[in-house]
Amino acid sequence: MPVMLPQLTRREFLKRAALAGAALALAPQSQAGLFGKSRDKNTFAFFSDTHIAADATLEHSHVNMADNLADCVRELAAWPVKPVTVIVNGDLAFESGLPGDYATFGKWIEPVRALAPVHLSLGNHDERENFWQAFPRDMTEQGSRLHRQATVFASDRANWFLLDSLEVTDTAPGEFGSAQLDWLARELAARPDKPAILVGHHNLQAPGATSGLKDSAAFEELFARHRQVKAYIFGHTHNWHVEQHASGVQLVNLPPTGYVFKEGRPSGWVRATLARDGAEFELRSLDPQHPEHAQIKQLKWRNSAG
C-alpha cells in the first residue's frame, strides 16, 4: 500500500502548524500564499533527492538540506498558481532511511500539503518499511499485491505511473524487478488512450556503469513498446538534464533539492505544465543567478503509432 499525502484543508494545516512549529516557520508571511489562489490542473511541481536527516541542522557537501527544502517550499508557496500535484522523487532521507529522517521530512514538507496532494517515491537512500511506518494515516489501497511504493494516478492530460527502484538501502544501484515491470506492463495495457508519464528514482544505466537502474534494458524495451509512454522522469544523479531516448521518449533528469555532486550544477525544483502534445519543464534554481535558472525545456511527445 503506497503513501500519498492528501492535501490539507486550511483548518487542518493551521492546527498541525500550531502543534509543530517547524511548519509555521516555513509558511509564507501571508496565508494567501497557501490558500488564496487558483489551481492549474495541468501544472505539477517536482522535488528530488531532498536527503533530509533527523537533525535538521545537518550539512553535507557544505549544504544544509533542510534549509534548501524550506527555500523550495517557500518559492512554491509563492508561485502564482497552485499545482495540481507535487511529486517528491526519491532519496527523501539523508543516508539510510532512519525513522527520524522521515519524521523531519514530514514536518518540512507540511506546508506543501496546504497547496496540493503530495506523491512520494523512494530512492536508494530510503528504507521502505521505516517510510511506510512514518505515514500510517496516509497509506492508500493498491489493487495489486505489489510490495513496492508504486501507484498510478490520472490527471487531465496524462496518466502518471510512480515506480519504486529501491533495491538495497544505501547502495547506489536500483532495480524495478520483474514483478514491478510486469505490473507496469499490465497497467499501461489497461490505459492505452492517454499519454503516460513514468516517474522513478534511478537513471537508465549506460553500458559498463554501476550506479543506475540495473534492469534498464528490460525497462527501455517496455516503454519503447508502449507508445503511449511519452516521458520518464528521474533523479539520482543530482544533475538537471533533458534529452530524448532513441525511442522518442523524453528523459527528464531532475535537479537535487539537497546537494549537487558536481560543483556548479544547479539545485532546486522543477515546474512542469502539460500541453496536449507535450510539456514545458522549467528549472527553478535555488541560486537565481545560476545561468540555468528559469531555463525552460519545451518537450514534444512522440507519436502513438510505431
Residue with cell 531555463: 295
Q: What order of strands is seen across the sheet that includes strand 229-234?
A: 151-154, 159-162, 196-199, 229-234, 250-253, 241-244
Q: Is residue 234 part of a domain?
A: yes
| 54 confidence band (pLDDT: 50, 70, 90) | very high
Positive or negative CA dihedral for 100, 89, 5, 294?
Answer: positive
Report if residue 83 sits inside a domain: yes
CATH code at position 223: 3.60.21.10
125, part of any domain: yes
Q: Is residue 306 part of a domain?
A: no
Whole-Å CA distances, 223 to 182, 207, 216: 12, 19, 11
Q: What digits encode the pLDDT tens for the residues 56-114? A: 999 999 999 999 999 999 999 999 999 999 999 999 999 999 999 999 999 999 889 98
Chain mean pLDDT for the chain: 92
pLDDT value at residue 141: 77
Q: Evaluate whether residue 305 is within a structural domain.
A: no
Neighbour-count burial of 153, counting CB atoms closer than 10 A to its CB (0-12 exposed, 13-18 middle, 19+ buried): middle
For the chain, how many structural domains are there in total? Answer: 1
pLDDT at 178 over 80: yes
Is 194 inside any structural domain?
A: yes
263 lies in some domain: yes
User: Residue 258 sits in which domain range?
Assistant: 4-300
pLDDT band at 19 (very low <50, low <70, confident <90, very high): low
The share of the chain scoring above pLDDT 90, in percent, equals 80
Domain-located, residue 25: yes
